[in-house]
Amino acid sequence: MSGTVRLAAILGLLSAIGPAAIDLYLPALPSLERDLETSVAGAQTTLSVYFLAFGIAQLFYGPLADRHGRKPPIYAGLALFVVGSIGCALAPSIGWLTAMRFVQGCGGAAVMVIPRAIVRDLHTGPQATRLMATIMLVVSVSPMLAPLAGSALIAFGDWRLLFTVLAVTGLLGLLLTRSALPETLAPAQRRPIDLASLRQGARTLFGDRQFVGLTFIGGAGFASFTVFLASASFVYTGQFGLSPTGFSLAFAINALGFFGASQLAAPAAERFGVIRVVQHALVTFAIVTTSLLLLVIAGLGTLGVIIVLLFLANACMGLVIPTTMVMALDRHGDIAGLASSLGGTLQMVTGALMVGLVGPFFDGTALPMVSAIAACAAAALLLSRWLFSEQAYRPV
């Protein structure tokens, strides 16, 4: 195994820990709702709170990674993830579970933001996109297999068992970090943590039209996926009567679209240019999701139609999200940790807010879900028109 592939595998496995805390328990959301005597919105809150914590905590891990190196904050984050997972497994009420999901999300954020900074430590441009896509290929195991594993575990226990498994996963991540992950930030390149440098770094990033635009294009795409995550288990099992295993298989098909297409992002960018790839993917994303919305409104939104069109929509996002993620960091190598954490925070908070906005309108059918996804697609397309207007975008 080459060094690059080995590093991608390690970063991918670590990066998969945070998403696993989402994907593993998706099949259990309906049973969790019944067991804790809460509502659908209450069960969805455990997901949106995780995303919110996952995003906010990235603001802290980025500067910590710039100051102390990449590995120590990963240790701290995974330890917090383990504590939160144990707390979730012992939760006596929906309020307790929601609070522990916040703790768990704060810990899981470390293994989302820091791998992106490690990629920026080593590469930029198409090489970075290729490494990021390889990492996402490893991460893709989570949305494709974790729901299936979750439905299998439910057959032997209940949703609490899933959080016990997540606690063990966090411990394994700690071991992997200690034994196999290299430190990529030399002491001479580390930056002190002080309010003046953070304010200056944040001012630089928020003043960069390209960073803001690319971050929110990816954020709108990510928000469409969070809406799908929060709603799909209720739609597929409620409206269409799938079993937890059936839902897991349908979910895996949709997730395959995203992660399969992400592997084409780097070669497509090299052949056609990153801006052209992003623009065409966003146009297709808007067309597909608008078509899906119209079909659902017309009463033609069958299970097969929804799965196929969401597969295509997620494939478009597989081209957009990793590409815009790399593009947003290209101009900010000297503050890659802060840029990665701020970008991740903005995207995660966008996703959490979108789930919160859709929650009150969710009625167990596909219409609210696909309406929100189509709105996210329209927002991403409009942002791209603003960012890539003539002479507005200046590549590195």
- Domain ranges for the chain: 3-180+192-387
With 50 as the cut, is the pLDDT of residue 376 above it? yes
Q: Residue 310 has what pLDDT?
A: 93
What's the one-letter identity of residue 304? G
Q: Residue 168 has what pLDDT?
A: 95
What average pLDDT does range 88-116 have in this prediction? 91
Helices (H) and strands (E) in the chain, counts: 19, 0
Q: Residue 338 has what pLDDT?
A: 74
Buried b or exposed e, range 181-210, using 16+ CB within 10 angstroms: beebbeeeeebeeeeebbeebeebbeebeb
Among 6-20, 78-92, 190-204, the least confident range: 190-204
Q: Residue 391 has what pLDDT?
A: 45
Average pLDDT score over the chain: 84
Q: Residue 30 has what pLDDT?
A: 82
Closest to 25 measured CA to CA, from 111, 91, 88: 88
Among 102-106, 222-226, 377-381, the least confident range: 222-226
What is the Cα–Cα distance from 237 to 28, expressed in whole angstroms? 11
Among 156-160, 237-241, 269-273, the least confident range: 269-273
What is the Cα–Cα distance from 379 to 386, expressed in whole angstroms? 11
Record: fold of 3-180+192-387:
Growth Hormone; Chain: A; (1.20.1250)
With 90 as the cut, is the pLDDT of residue 99 above it? yes
Sign of the dihedral defined by the CA atoms of residues 132, 184, 337, 17, in that order? positive
